[in-house]
């Protein structure tokens, strides 16, 4: 079972292109999700997902990348590829350290559960929630 899982991840990694939209498209396909499902699970608009899939974004935020990873429930090795392809890197802030924690240790949790953890640490929430507070 573990061997098959690792082989599955390696197969995906070998198919990943070098650009963000290509990596995102490959990972959405691997996750077997529709744009509508991902929009709901990542708390991102479908329009934003379509834009990110079809053009190379020059202004994608770390928050958006984290939301996409959480929405797809990407294993840490795959999340790291999406982060890297975005051209973004983690800053040494409490917020970004928490993002790394979420992507490595809580990647099977929902965006709402992750936001509960962020709120408990008095950190900015992900998704539409961060515009409300």
Q: Work out the mean pLDDT of the chain and round it to a whole number.
A: 94
Q: Residue 106 and residue 29: Cα distance in Å, rounded?
A: 22
Percent of the chain with pLDDT over 70: 96
Q: Which residues contact 40 (CB under 8 A, 6 or more apart)?
A: none
C-alpha pair distances (Å), 56 with each of 23, 32, 39, 74: 11, 22, 19, 21
Q: Which residue has 């409300």 as its token pair?
A: 132
Query: Is the confidence at residue 32, as pLDDT, over 80?
Result: yes
Q: For residue range 102-128, what is the model confidence (pLDDT) as tens digits?
A: 999 999 999 999 999 999 999 999 997
Going from N- to C-terminal start, the domains of the chain cover 2-132
What phi, psi does 60 have (nearest 5°)?
Answer: -65, 140
Q: What is the DSSP letter of 92?
A: S
Q: Residue 95 and residue 101: Cα distance in Å, rounded?
A: 10
Q: For residue range 71-81, what is the model confidence (pLDDT) as tens digits?
A: 999 999 999 99
- pLDDT class of 133 with cuts at 50, 70, 90: very low
Regarding pTM above 0.85, the answer is yes
């Amino acid at each position: 079972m573990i061997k098959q899982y690792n082989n599955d991840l390696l197969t995906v990694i070998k198919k990943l292109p070098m650009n963000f939209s290509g990596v995102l498209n490959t990972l959405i396909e691997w996750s077997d999700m529709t744009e509508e499902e991902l929009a709901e699970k990542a708390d991102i608009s479908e329009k934003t997902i379509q834009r990110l899939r079809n053009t190379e974004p020059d202004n994608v935020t770390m928050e958006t990348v984290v939301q996409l990873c959480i929405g797809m429930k990407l294993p840490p090795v795959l999340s790291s590829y999406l982060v890297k392809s975005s051209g973004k890197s983690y800053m040494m802030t409490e917020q970004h350290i928490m993002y790394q924690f979420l992507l490595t240790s809580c990647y099977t949790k929902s965006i709402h559960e992750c936001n509960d953890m962020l709120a408990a640490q008095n950190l900015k929430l992900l998704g539409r929630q961060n515009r409300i507070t």
